[in-house]
Chains A and B, each alone.
Chain A
Amino acid sequence: MSFAARFRQGMKAAIPIWIAFVPSSIAWGIAAQDHGLSLAEVVLMSAWVYSGPAQFAVLGPLAEGKSALQVLIAGFLMNLRFLPMSTALAPFFRGVKRSQLLLASHVISASSFIVPYVQFQKERAPTGADSARAPDLDGYGRLAFFLGVGVTSFLVWVTGTASGFLAAFGFPPGFEEALKFILPGYFAGLLVVEMKGWAMPLICFGSLVAALPGAVVSPGWGWLVTAIVVATLGCGIEEWKLRGSR
């Protein structure tokens, strides 16, 4: 399949992401205007940081004039989740030039990780083979699919935040509650649709619950630590069970 065809395939797969991104990005644009950010700052943050949860997290401290270090740490910790996502995607881009991957990596987000990752898994292992035995598929084809998802979602996000800022229309009371729900609600739906086996639901539920006490103890990194602990424990138990059954 050609690069353009794979890109279009990715675009098609990204349509649900756009639906979730439109209201969320508009909500962020409105919130950013409320917090006194300029249009240039809004567009810069959406296009350069491109991370919904991190953008929401730093909005308050940034507007309140909290110390730069505090804001930077908050943003960095929120964005640390991209590290395992990008690492998990990297093996699929075999043969692609690093310079092209550097540019492409900018559009990695939770949604543009899950959709391509699940697609690549399906393409890679129809028999459930592990990565070491996986057949070599075209790295550029996968990159095209990833870009179809990532670039279009990125454009929707940036346009949405700018529109939200410019329109800044008043929502009826209670409506912001629905806007706040949309992005996390969509992430939850994406995960649920792709759930398999017993370990993944357990890890997801465990991380969801454990994040709250973790974040109460340390709003910056508590939820990160609990996610690492839960994921490692779940993975360890699964590995132990797999070894037992071999």
Chain B
Amino acid sequence: MEITRFQIIFIIGLMAFAVRALPQLFFVGERFPEAWDRWLRYLSYGFICSIISVTLFMAGGRIETAAAPRRAIALALAIVVAYRTKSAVTGMLSGAVLVLILARLL
């Protein structure tokens, strides 16, 4: 039986919902030991950083070598500006403007 695109999207959503909802079912109100709490936090941050890397620098399983340097420079600027100004949006906007300029220049 052929699965339609609609059904595929529905199943992806169902799996995403399960991943989001199951911890709420089993761990609501639980108090984790400090080390476990920290590990969960670091794991979440680690996944987000990995996603940043994969989204910015890769396409189709390969590193986008032409675009990667300018995106890396823009990411570095975004990080520095966000750190200095304590504003994620200011950092993001600075990086976006820089990557736009670099894409036109290079």
Q: A62-B8, A212-B58 are in contact. Are A186 and B97 (CB under 8 A)?
A: no
**B-contact bits for A81-110, CB 8 A (1 contact / 0 none):** 111111111110111101001101110101
Interface residues of A in 165-190 (CB under 8 A from B): 173-175, 177-178, 180-190
The reply on A191 being an interface residue by CB < 8 A is yes
A231 touches B16 (CB 8 A): no
B61 touches A215 (CB 8 A): yes
Interface of B: prevailing SS? helix
The reply on A199 being an interface residue by CB < 8 A is yes
B11 touches A193 (CB 8 A): no
Q: Which of A62, A98, A110, A200 contacts B51 (CB 8 A)?
A: A110
The reply on A30 being an interface residue by CB < 8 A is no
Bound Cα distance A114, B44 (Å): 9
B20 touches A105 (CB 8 A): yes
B8 touches A189 (CB 8 A): no
Interface residues of B in 6-33 (CB under 8 A from A): 6-13, 15-17, 19-33
Rounded to whole Å, the gap between the CB of A36 and the closest CB of chain B is 9
Q: Which of A49, A174, A216 contacts B16 (CB 8 A)?
A: A49
B45 touches A101 (CB 8 A): no
The reply on A76 being an interface residue by CB < 8 A is yes
Closest to B80 in A: A192
Residues of B within 8 Å of A, CB-based: how many? Answer: 80
B30 touches A90 (CB 8 A): yes
Bound Cα distance A184, B58 (Å): 13
Chain A residues with Cβ below 8 Å from B67 are 177
| Contact-residue bracket for chain A | 35 or more
The A-B contact count (CB < 8 A) is: 318
Chain B residues with Cβ below 8 Å from A82 are 16, 19-20
Q: Which of A75, A90, A106, A110 contacts B48 (CB 8 A)?
A: A110
Chain A residues with Cβ below 8 Å from B104 are 173-174
Bound Cα distance A226, B13 (Å): 25
Chain B residues with Cβ below 8 Å from A71 are 8, 12
Q: A45-B13, A189-B79 are in contact. Are A239 and B35 (CB under 8 A)?
A: yes
In order of increasing CB-CB distance, the 10 nearest A-B pairs are: A189-B88, A48-B13, A94-B29, A189-B82, A189-B91, A81-B47, A130-B34, A75-B12, A227-B46, A211-B50
24 A-B pairs in the complex with CB atoms less than 8 angstroms apart:
A41-B6, A58-B12, A62-B8, A62-B9, A75-B16, A82-B16, A88-B40, A89-B23, A93-B29, A105-B20, A108-B20, A175-B100, A184-B51, A185-B74, A188-B79, A189-B88, A192-B83, A203-B45, A211-B50, A212-B57, A215-B53, A219-B58, A219-B61, A232-B43
| A residues in contact (CB < 8 Å) with B | 16, 19-20, 37, 40-41, 44-45, 48-51, 53-54, 56, 58, 60, 62, 68, 71-72, 75-76, 78-91, 93-96, 98, 101-102, 104-106, 108, 110, 113-114, 117, 130-132, 134, 139, 173-175, 177-178, 180-193, 195, 199-200, 203-212, 214-216, 219, 223-224, 226-228, 230-232, 234-235, 238-239
